[in-house]
């Protein structure tokens, strides 16, 4: 065998898991159909916050564990892509959050007059905001510097990987619907608009967990990311002009200067939602090997990446 572990999938979940494993002293390869810059993770707005992910209790613990790592990475934002940025979650009350919120410093319920836009309720927070193209490149670079190998490879089954490594980790996101196979996986479509930043320095969200329309903007280096949508079951990767216009209009109701911002581009990603929530589970492979399934992170793959990676690594090493 050429490796101890092969991680299938090169998005944030796969790379974080691979990095965790290689730093535990294992020989690790990543097999990814796309370059990291072309994965679903690269499209993410990537504000740390448990959003559209189940099971809620476990996800909260994974998120807090990941928050601590992102806090450390924010010491070098130019390299890691992680920054602490203040902002507001509208339509959100502290009392409605899970136990994980007690681990997040600085959350503050806002008086109605301090909530931006047409919202009466909101909380202020200072949270990690991750520039995903930079962060994914950093994850891959750190993984390779530690001795890992990244390969572009299309995988149609886990048999070939099982012949080359004693353990295989399935981090294929929505691809696990066919590879696992798992009919409980479904896409939740997210569309974004990238515009020139007209001077917005704080992030904003108003994201109803059951609505197909959300409103948010994230100031990333060189651009302002506007969102968004959460279209359950929709699988098109083509940007819709009417949807883009509606996104800009919703964001402009909060910050009017956004209405005139020059559009730089459009992005669409498919969140890998799963009826039973995140799956982190080991199953035996023929010949005595082990397959660890690690997928179904919905809209919070970045938020829980490090906590989930450690749980998957425990199954590989256990």
Signed CA dihedral, 90, 95, 99, 102: sign only? positive
Q: How large a percentage of the chain has pLDDT more than 70?
A: 100
Look at residue 52 in the predicted model and tell me its pLDDT.
85
- Residues 309, 310, 316: CA angle, nearest 5 degrees: 90
* Residue located via tokens 């590989």: 316
Look at residue 193 in the predicted model and tell me its pLDDT.
98
Angle, to 10 degrees, between the axis of helix 301-317 and the axis of helix 56-73?
100
- Residues 207, 99, 21: CA angle, nearest 5 degrees: 85
- Output the CA–CA distances (angstroms, integers) from residue 284 to 161, 195, 255, in the order listed: 14, 48, 53
Interstrand relation of 263-274 and 185-195 (parallel, antiparallel or unpaired)? antiparallel
pTM, two decimal places: 0.97
Report the DSSP beta bridge partners of residue 206.
215
Look at residue 1 in the predicted model and tell me its pLDDT.
67
Whether the predicted pLDDT of 284 surpasses 70? yes
Whether the predicted pLDDT of 318 surpasses 90? no
Report the SS3 class of residue 100. Answer: helix
d(CA 23, CA 111): 46
With contact defined as beta carbons under 8 Å apart, do 48 and 67 qualify? yes
Look at residue 152 in the predicted model and tell me its pLDDT.
97
More confident residue, 211 or 32: 32
* Residue located via tokens 């982190």: 280
Q: Can you give the length of the chain in residues? A: 318
The 3-state secondary structure of 250-283, one letter per residue: HHHHHCHHHHHCCEEEEEEEEEEEECCCCEEEEE
Average pLDDT taken over every residue of the chain = 96
Domains annotated for the chain, with CATH where assigned, are: 3-317 (3.40.50.720)
Look at residue 274 in the predicted model and tell me its pLDDT.
96
Classify burial at 229, counting beta carbons within 10 Å of its beta carbon; exposed 0-12, middle 13-18, buried 19 or more.
buried
Mean pLDDT in residue range 9-35: 98
With contact defined as beta carbons under 8 Å apart, do 231 and 171 qualify? no
Least confident of 90-94, 202-206, 283-287: 283-287
């Amino acid at each position: 065998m050429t490796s101890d572990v092969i991680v299938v999938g090169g998005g944030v979940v796969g790379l974080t898991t691979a990095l965790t494993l290689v730093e535990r002293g294992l020989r690790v390869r990543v097999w990814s159909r796309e370059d990291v810059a072309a994965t679903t993770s690269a499209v993410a707005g990537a504000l740390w916050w448990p959003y559209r992910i189940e099971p809620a209790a476990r996800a909260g613990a994974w998120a807090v564990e990941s928050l601590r790592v992102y806090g450390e990475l924010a010491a070098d934002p130019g390299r890691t892509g992680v920054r602490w940025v203040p902002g507001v979650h509208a339509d959100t009350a502290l009392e409605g959050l899970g136990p994980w919120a007690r681990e997040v410093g600085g959350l503050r319920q806002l008086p109605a007059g301090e909530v931006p836009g047409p919202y009466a309720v909101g909380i202020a927070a200072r949270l990690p905001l991750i520039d995903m193209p930079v962060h994914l490149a950093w994850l891959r670079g750190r993984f390779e510097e530690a001795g890992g190998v990244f390969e572009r490879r299309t995988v149609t089954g886990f048999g070939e990987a099982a012949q080359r490594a004693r353990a295989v980790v399935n981090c294929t996101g929505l691809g696990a619907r066919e590879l696992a196979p798992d009919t409980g996986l479904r896409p939740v479509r997210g569309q974004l608009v990238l515009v020139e930043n007209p001077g917005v320095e704080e992030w904003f969200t108003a994201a109803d967990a059951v609505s197909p329309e959300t409103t948010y903007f994230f100031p990333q280096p060189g651009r302002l990311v506007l969102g968004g949508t959460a279209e359950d079951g929709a699988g098109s990767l083509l940007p819709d002009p009417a949807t883009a216009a509606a996104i800009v209009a919703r964001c402009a109701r909060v910050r009017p200067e956004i209405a005139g911002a020059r559009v730089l581009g459009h992005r669409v990603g498919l969140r890998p939602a799963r009826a039973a929530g995140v799956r982190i589970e080991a199953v035996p492979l023929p010949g005595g090997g082990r397959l660890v399934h690690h997928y179904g992170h919905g809209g919070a793959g970045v938020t829980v990446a490090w906590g989930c990676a450690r749980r998957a690594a425990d199954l590989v090493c256990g």
